[in-house]
Structure 1
Amino acid sequence: MPLSAPADREHIHTRRVTCQGFRRADGLWDIEGHLTDVKSYGFHTEERGRLSPGDPIHQMWMRMTVDDQLVVRAIEAVTDDSPYLACGSITPAFQTLVGLRIAAGWTQAVKQRLGGPKGCTHLVELLGPMATTAFQTVFPILAREKAAKAKQEGRPAHDGKERPVLLNMCHILSSDGDVARKNWPEHYTGTDREPAPQGNEAAE
């Protein structure tokens, strides 16, 4: 269902963010991001001169290489277009992310390393959707391969002990919701959860 019809308006600005995930031949994963900002009107800039409508104010690229645990193994950032010619000089600072794991606390860790004058606002913003893309690239493939291996070995894909990676990542995957109740009953925390057996019942 699309958005409702808008009020009368004039198009001013467009930001486009594209992220892609790749599996490398060496077993690692490349996550690439591309960001552009363009205006619908022309204007003058101090260092680049006149920009026509559609000329990129910002055009930036990033490649983040991660392993199966989503630990950053390598990173490359490039600024092709920016308001100031020296904007791209900050890209080497992004090497401080090498060794950091994409997990809970990722956003805060990035801000500590690259927030404010220590980094580039737009490249830092690009790391958000790139982190999500990394998860969406790596997790489904590894989960599918794990399930296939378990099936081949004649054992269940989930033993019920390992906490599902997706649990509590959003409201639909809440530990007390229907998805958890149906797919991960061992981790379901809803009020209608069946009580654990006690006393002699546990031994039967």
Structure 2
Amino acid sequence: MSLPKPPVTRQLLHTRRIECCGYHREDGLWDIEAYLIDTKSYSFPNKFRDSIQAGEPLHALGLRLTLDDNLLIHEATAIIDASPFAVCPEITPRFALLKGLQIATGWNRKVKNLLGDIKGCTHLVELLAPLATTAYQTIYGATKEKREQEMAEHPDKKPALLDSCHALDCNGVVVKTFFPRFYTGATDKYQD
């Protein structure tokens, strides 16, 4: 996949890599992990680390959430292996406060209230959005039979996934094809 060629010559200065992985544990729970690494293409001085060399991580941090099938968090662990300030790793224990929360509607708001601003690390908090999506993608795919059984038992219950994005608009072709019971067919798709 690639974007169109840029119209002018340019120089790479900063790279942020985010990787998210989902694992099914032998105890039936799920581990969802996210990692963030920031690097620069140049070296620069740093008061707490003397200097940060080109290609050396400015930030290297990660999160692991242990979840059940209902996206309820049983455990949360955060690490900061590289940061520009010596105090950054001190905040990681606060991410254990995620235990007991459920990834659901309002997730980003809950996270911001709990760990936003000085109550957390900006970069770890940023990781929680793609981590939540990865959790959903991991667990949703692996629990298809269970979902199908629940839909058969409760056929009038609208799946939470519907109306969550453009493709899953209840007015659209995807819902019409895969969830015809919930297809509305309204013509005014975008009401501002």
TM-score by length of 1: 0.86
1:66 paired to 2:93: no
- Check conservation: 1:16, 1:37, Cα contact below 8 A: yes
Q: Structure 1 unaligned runs (5+)?
A: 151-155, 193-204
Structure with bigger gyration radius: 1
Q: Sort the Cα spacing of 1:164 and 1:146 in 2 relative to 1 into closer, same or farther, 3 A.
A: closer
Distance 2:115 2:186 in 1: 43
Q: Sort the Cα spacing of 1:50 and 1:191 in 2 relative to 1 into closer, same or farther, 3 A.
A: closer
Which segments of structure 1 move beyond 6 Å, counting only runs of 4 or more? none
Deviations 1:56-95 (A, max 9, x none): 0000011100111001110110100000111000011111
Distance 1:47 1:19 in 2: 29
Paired position in structure 1 for 2:107: 106
Over the residues paired in the alignment, what is the CA RMSD in angstroms? Answer: 1.7
Paired position in structure 2 for 1:165: 160
Distance 1:158 1:130 in 2: 30
Distance 2:63 2:97 in 1: 14
Q: Sort the Cα spacing of 1:113 and 1:159 in 2 relative to 1 into closer, same or farther, 3 A.
A: closer
Deviations 1:16-55 (A, max 9, x none): 0000000011110000111100000000001101111001
TM-score by length of 2: 0.91
Deviations 1:124-168 (A, max 9, x none): 001111000000000111114554xx5xxxxx9576323223211
Q: Structure 2 unaligned runs (5+)?
A: 188-192
Paired position in structure 2 for 1:195: none
Secondary structure of residue in 1 paired with 2:167:
helix
Trace 1:144-155 onto structure 2 (pairs within 5 A). Answer: 144-147=145-148
- Check conservation: 1:160, 1:184, Cα contact below 8 A: no
Percent identity over the alignment? 45
Secondary structure of residue in 2 paired with 1:172:
coil
Distance 2:152 2:10 in 1: 53
Paired position in structure 2 for 1:136: 137
Q: Give the number of equivalent residue pairs.
A: 185
